[in-house]
Amino acid sequence: MRRQITHSQTPKKRLGAAAVELALVLPVFLTLTFGAVEVGYAINVSQKLESIVRDAGRLAAKDIDPALLVGGITPNQKVINDVRNMMRAEGYNTANVAVTIVHADGATAGQSFDLSLATNQYKMMKIRVTIPYTDVRILKMRIASSTVLDATLVVSRGRSTLSF
């Protein structure tokens, strides 16, 4: 004997299955999507930070024209102000940005590097810029709240001269 199934019996068995599946899959999908967006943004910020440090290194490596030092600021302050201005131009909060310029090698490694001293000519310096991730993140979650983004550049303080 053959059993007959009517069409009205099959949908009743699956009633609500799609809603249950969506309730199980949606949180995982949203977590992965927002996580990927946040990681991508963090990588973007990190690359911009590296670009800003590269520009600061170019400025610090060459002779800074005294006409640029308005208001009695030092060359070190000029570089730090320029880093903050570049970050502000990118739309970042610069309240917690830390910029350090220190000797990169030798007996004075880690000590403050003064760009205005002639004795520092042709010496290696390290420029480091750090900013807390909480100041640049997109999503206001507690994930990575203690993370600090930083970029470092080691460059020589030198002078280019042309001779004919």
Could you report the per-residue pLDDT of 11-50, keeping only the tens digit for each? 566 778 888 888 999 999 998 998 888 888 889 999 999 9
In tens, the pLDDT along 61-77 reads 887 777 777 888 888 99
What's the confidence (pLDDT) of residue 153?
92
Is residue 93 in a domain? yes
Is residue 123 in a domain? yes
Is the pLDDT confidence value at 112 over 50? Answer: yes
- Look up the pTM and report it: 0.76
For 99, list phi and psi in degrees, rounded to 5. -120, 125
Averaged pLDDT for residues 88-109:
91
Choice between 2 and 21, residue whose per-residue pLDDT is larger = 21
Is residue 162 in a domain? no
The H or E element containing residue 23 is helix 17-61
Distance from C-alpha of 110 to C-alpha of 65, rounded to nearest angstrom: 26
Is the pLDDT confidence value at 1 over 70? Answer: no
Is residue 86 in a domain? yes
* Cα separations in angstroms, 83 against 44, 71, 73, 139, 148: 17, 18, 15, 25, 17
Is residue 3 in a domain? no
In tens, the pLDDT along 113-152 reads 998 888 888 889 999 999 998 888 877 766 667 888 999 9
Averaged pLDDT for residues 76-87:
92
Is residue 21 in a domain? yes
Distance from C-alpha of 131 to C-alpha of 148, rounded to nearest angstrom: 6
Expressed as residue numbers, the domain containing 93 is 9-156
pLDDT classification of 164: cutoffs 50, 70, 90: very low
Which residue, 141, 145, 150, 132, is CA-closest to 94?
Answer: 132
Is residue 32 in a domain? yes
Is residue 4 in a domain? no
Distance from C-alpha of 132 to C-alpha of 94, rounded to nearest angstrom: 10
In total, how many domains does the chain have? 1
Q: Where are the alpha helices (DSSP H) in 62-125?
A: 75-89
